[in-house]
Structure formats: structure tokens, C-alpha cells
Amino acid sequence: MRGRAARRVLRGLPPLLPVLAGVLLWGLWRAGELPGGASRVGAEVTARPGDWVLAAGALATVVLLLGALRRRRARVARERALRAVAAQGAGDRQRLVGRLDHELKNPLTAIRLALANLAADDPRPQQAAGLRSIEEQVLRLSRLTTDLRKIADVETSRLDTTDVDVTALLEEALEVVGEQPRAAGRTLRLDAPRAPWPLPRVQGDADLLVLAFVNLVDNAVKYTADGATVEVRARESGPDVLVEVADTGHGISADDLPHVWEELFRSQQARAVPGSGLGLPFVRAVVHRHGGSVTADSREGEGTVVRVVLPVRQPAEA
């Protein structure tokens, strides 16, 4: 606390330096410590040279402060405009995704019904194989619309909020993913504080949060090779709980990294692994719904870390 206050004072110092220098010089002139001592320089000049330095310093300080203030204001305005554009873009995309999901439902239902009728008609073997193939693809599309709907649902539906033990959720997520065959050969580790006190409980929807963590751990397992390590770390951080899911996997290229939160985005490297491109957007939707934030950092060939910040207390519902 004290360290932070001291740093804030230090950060405010540079613009004040000229005026401080002026005060110092003025004091030295007065004390006769500088060449010329306390003697007057000329009859027309009523102020001591130190006074001039002081005045110039003050002027420079005012100019510097005004400049800094103007730059700060411009930056704040620019950031606000950017955020508004981003929010508008996100809203548009959400609406598009919602409509797409809506428009796909009836055709998909009709196709599934038609297939069920055809399959009941005792088709010849070759036709039956064709029907099965169509059915598999329709199921794939159905899952896609369900996942899209799930994201939209998280953004709008009511949270079932309780006091959640994040450590227990992380243990559960690691257990659920650890049971999957693809987790074989990976080391899954959880590092959560127990001393001097455990993580504070977080207000949230346990079912949604555990799904988000399962998604992150599952991703870490999916995009790593045999022998890799997946480390889940949790820490208390001021008013938040910070969860990191880190892996020693393939990593994500710098070009792709900003896009991993977009619906249906799949990077070139990820295409070799089955997936919908909806896992991370779902995670983001869950975390945002809890008033938190999520970011990712990655180095190709070294691995990825996803950081989830969850506020301990939920902001009041708008």
C-alpha cells in the first residue's frame, strides 16, 4: 500500500523538476553559496538571478503540466471511442450469430426428421451408408448451432449465483479432463494456495465457471503433445482471483492470437485437431458475464497461458 503511494508521488515528479531546481538555485543564491554570493547583479534588475530561474522553472512546469493533461485527455477520449466501436462490433456480431442460429434450427430439424423417415424405410446398404453420412454431418451442424446458442444464452440468461470455491472447481475440471483418453501422457498439475489462507470464495455460477475451466484445460490438453505439462495456477490478486491455465504445447502464432476469442475462428495449426472454434468464445462469455476478463499469451513451439481474472464480488446486475 505504502509502496504504491510512494511510486505514485515519484511518477508525478518529472514535471515538477524545473520548479524544484529553481527553488534550490534560489536558496543557494540567497545563502551566498554560489559565485557572486548574495550581491546584486545590476541596478536595473531588481530580482536575484535565482528568482529568474525560479520564474522560468515555474513557467516551464505549467507548460509541461498543461501538455501532459492535454495528451492524457486526448488518450482517454481515443480509448473511449475505440471501446465504443469494439462494443458496437461485438454487439453486431452477437446479433448475427443469434440470427444465424435461429435461421438454422428449422432446416436442421426438418432434415433430421426426413432422415429418420428415410432410415425407417429399410434402405439398401449403399443408401443406408449415405444416409448415415448425412446424419453425421447434420449432427455436426446441430452441435454447432447448440454451441452458438449456448454462448448467446450465457450472455443474456440469469446466473445461478452462489459463493463458489474456485479451487474445488479447478480440481473438478482437471479431473474431468484427466479422465479423457486424450489426456493420457500429459502431466496435469494444480497449484492453488492453501497457506496462509485459501483462495477467497467467488460469487458466481459454479456450473458455468466449471465449464469454462474444463474448456481451458481441455484446450491445453488438446493442443499439446505427449509428455507435455498442463499447469493450472490460482492466486488471490487484490479484489480478484487470478487463474492461469498454462501448457507446454504447440503455442499460437502472434498473428492468430488476437483472433482466438472470435466465434468460429480456427488457426492454421489448430485445424489438424477437431474442434468447433467456439470453446474460447464460450469461456470469454462466461468470464465477462461474471464481470471478469480473460487474456492469452503464447509463444509458438513453447506453449500458451490463458489468464482469467474473476472479481471476488459480483458487480451489481445492470
Partner 1 sequence: MPTILLADDESAITDNLAPLLRRAGYEVVVTSDGRQALDGIRAHAPDLVVLDVMMPGLDGRAVLRTLRAERRSTPVILLTQVGESSERAMALEEGADDYLNKPFDPQELIARIRAVLRRGAASGGGLGQSPRLRSGTVVLDRVSQRVSRDGRDVVLTPRATALLAYLMTHPDEVMTRERLLEAVWGWTFQTSTRSVDTRVAELRRELEVDSGDPQLITTVLGTGYRFSGRVESA
Per CB under 8 A, residues contacting partner 1 are 101-102, 104-110, 112-114, 116-117, 120, 142, 145-146, 149-150, 153, 156-158, 160, 162, 172, 176-177, 180, 206-207, 210-211, 214, 218
CB of 163 to partner 1, least distance (A): 11
Single-letter residue type at 190: L
Nearer to partner 1, 146 or 267 (CB): 146
CB of 192 to partner 1, least distance (A): 19
- The closest alpha carbon to 217, from 254, 244, 181, 192, belongs to 244
Single-letter residue type at 91: G
Nearer to partner 1, 150 or 250 (CB): 150
- Can the peptide bond before residue 49 be classed as cis, meaning omega within 30 degrees of 0? no
- The closest alpha carbon to 251, from 228, 233, 274, 235, belongs to 228
Cα(288)–Cα(93) distance, integer angstroms: 16
Residue 172 near residue 204, CB atoms below 8 Å: no
- Alpha-carbon distances of 108 from 76, 105, 248, 277, rounded to whole Å: 47, 5, 39, 20
DSSP secondary structure code for residue 187 in this structure: E
CB of 10 to partner 1, least distance (A): 49
CB of 176 to partner 1, least distance (A): 5
CB of 269 to partner 1, least distance (A): 23
Nearer to partner 1, 62 or 264 (CB): 264
Supply the Cα-derived Rg of the chain in whole angstroms.
31
Nearer to partner 1, 19 or 214 (CB): 214
CB of 88 to partner 1, least distance (A): 23
Nearer to partner 1, 30 or 112 (CB): 112
Nearer to partner 1, 50 or 281 (CB): 281
CB of 166 to partner 1, least distance (A): 15
Cα(246)–Cα(307) distance, integer angstroms: 9
Single-letter residue type at 20: L
Nearer to partner 1, 21 or 104 (CB): 104
Helices (H), the chain: 2-11, 17-31, 49-120, 125-156, 166-178, 206-222, 279-289
Terminal Cα-to-Cα distance of the chain (whole angstroms): 31
Nearer to partner 1, 11 or 158 (CB): 158
What's the residue count for the chain? 318
Cα(202)–Cα(318) distance, integer angstroms: 19
Cα(112)–Cα(105) distance, integer angstroms: 11
CB of 149 to partner 1, least distance (A): 5
